[in-house]
Structure 1
Amino acid sequence: MTRQRYHHGDLRRALLSAAAEAIAESGVNSLSMRDLARRAGVSHAAPGHHFADKAGLLTALATDGFQQLAKALGTSRLASNSLLELGVTYLRFALAHRGTFEVMFRTDLYHAADPDLLAARQRAADALYAGMADLPDAPAVASEEVREVALAAWSMVHGFATLWLSGAFPDSAAEDPVEAARVILGRVFTLHAGVIPSPEAS
């Protein structure tokens, strides 16, 4: 069945899925093209038809990840119009695509100047920045400061996701990460929006 899918052009997708799965299980350093071929049920040489080497495969995986993230963020903004929910969507993506997420921001692992990757990463950034100033729960800032606010929000959400995935939170095993994010990020975003006074001001 796998070989039949290969002849129909689906081996590339099968290899990317296998790579994301393997990375989520054992980390990116343990990834090998031979193991991917085994997981996909094809010959050891078959991955070479789509990816020249491991870096090429990881470039494609990161590109695919940024494309999916851009779509998820865009859908979230249209559905919720909320900065907090945008952050929760980012976290959900990290949790659901752990292997891909691990690779996306490791520019040392892939061809960082690849045009398709750069375009996909820009689409994800645009989805994050788009309409930031118009979100009801976003901090009230001048239009030229929207990018800085978006970067600050991204840093907080990305940090939360990374810490959670690494098991750094003491109670992470017993908590729902999405609900924990709603509480923690909601508190931080509210403080930055100036809706309630910060502890320093009280």
Structure 2
Amino acid sequence: MLDAAQSLLEERGLEGFTLRECARRAGVSHAAPAHHFGDVAGLLTAFAAAGFRRLSSLMRAYREAAPDLPEAQLRAVGLAYIDFAVGHRAQFQLMFRYDRLSPDHAELEQAGREAAGHLSETLAGALAARGLPGEGSDFDRRLVLAWSAVHGFATLLLEGRLNGWRGRRSVSGYAAHMGDEILAVLEVALLAPQAAAPANRRVRRRTA
């Protein structure tokens, strides 16, 4: 059923996804999807959870293949994220469509935490190597920046918004080249000395 879901999503997208067509492609009865997953959201949630597990496995593989240096480990996780998005577009895009999923599903939450843990762990390790804390509000800001950068680049690339820069290069080729360059620039910001968060100040207007 999950293989059929992937095939259908890649071909028709979320708008064309139905349990009946998914069952037909899987070669099971029309009632089988509802029996195992409950409804469309249940099946899509299972597929999204499988995506997070696949992403986590790819991050682990990239980390194991990278040099045993904090910065190299951090960059490996970022490249794994981008490569997963390019290689599994339909699944990647679904994983963050909580309007179509069951967001409180325990399996989905666990798989998402495991994948996020790779980024958190490698960033904390890289910061520790520079004597910077791997927790607290400053760490949270850096973590959000790291995730936003790789997710934003992958999304823009998949949506064709970078075609002007990509030119005739393949999506995967451009992702590997530009993704590495972006991560190199991002690394400077992520591992810079700790800076205090700007205070929220109200601008007072002068009255006559």
TM value normalised by structure 2? 0.77
Q: CA deviation at 1:74?
A: 2.5
- Residues 66 and 124 in structure 1, CA contact (< 8 A), matched pair in contact too: yes
SS in 2 for 1:174: coil
2:82 to 76, 91, 106: 91
- Residues 22 and 99 in structure 1, CA contact (< 8 A), matched pair in contact too: no
Corresponding residue number in structure 2 for 1:186: 184
- Residues 58 and 110 in structure 1, CA contact (< 8 A), matched pair in contact too: yes
Q: Once the two structures are superposed, what CA deviation does each residue of 1:30-85 show, in whole Å capped at 9, x if it has no partner?
A: 11111112222233222223121100001101111111212222232233243222
CA spacing shift, 1:139–1:31, aligned 2, 3 Å: farther
Aligned-partner Cα distance in 1 for 2:34–2:63: 39
2:53 to 51, 54, 67: 67
Corresponding residue number in structure 1 for 2:42: 56
1:165 to 152, 158, 168: 158
Corresponding residue number in structure 1 for 2:5: 19
CA spacing shift, 1:142–1:135, aligned 2, 3 Å: closer
Q: CA deviation at 1:120?
A: 1.1
Corresponding residue number in structure 1 for 2:91: 100
Corresponding residue number in structure 2 for 1:200: none
Corresponding residue number in structure 1 for 2:198: none
CA spacing shift, 1:193–1:131, aligned 2, 3 Å: closer
- Residues 60 and 118 in structure 2, CA contact (< 8 A), matched pair in contact too: yes
SS in 1 for 2:166: coil
Q: Which runs of 5+ in 1 are unaligned?
A: 1-14, 196-202
Q: Which runs of 5+ in 2 are unaligned?
A: 67-71, 194-208
Aligned residues: 180
Question: Structure 1: which amino acid aligns with 2:74?
Answer: L
1:148 to 141, 145, 151: 141
Aligned-partner Cα distance in 2 for 1:119–1:172: 36
Larger radius of gyration: 2
2:26 to 15, 33, 40: 40
Q: Once the two structures are superposed, what CA deviation does each residue of 1:100-141 show, in whole Å capped at 9, x if it has no partner?
A: 1111111111110011111111111112211323238x9873
**Sequence identity, in percent?**
37
SS in 1 for 2:99: coil
Question: Structure 2: which amino acid aligns with 1:84?
Answer: R
- Residues 51 and 91 in structure 2, CA contact (< 8 A), matched pair in contact too: yes
Corresponding residue number in structure 1 for 2:125: 134
Q: Once the two structures are superposed, what CA deviation does each residue of 1:153-200 show, in whole Å capped at 9, x if it has no partner?
A: 1110000111111111124362222112112332333355459xxxxx
RMSD: 2.3
CA spacing shift, 1:49–1:133, aligned 2, 3 Å: same
Aligned-partner Cα distance in 2 for 1:148–1:191: 11
Aligned-partner Cα distance in 2 for 1:173–1:38: 39
1:82 to 60, 73, 96: 73
Aligned-partner Cα distance in 2 for 1:87–1:102: 17
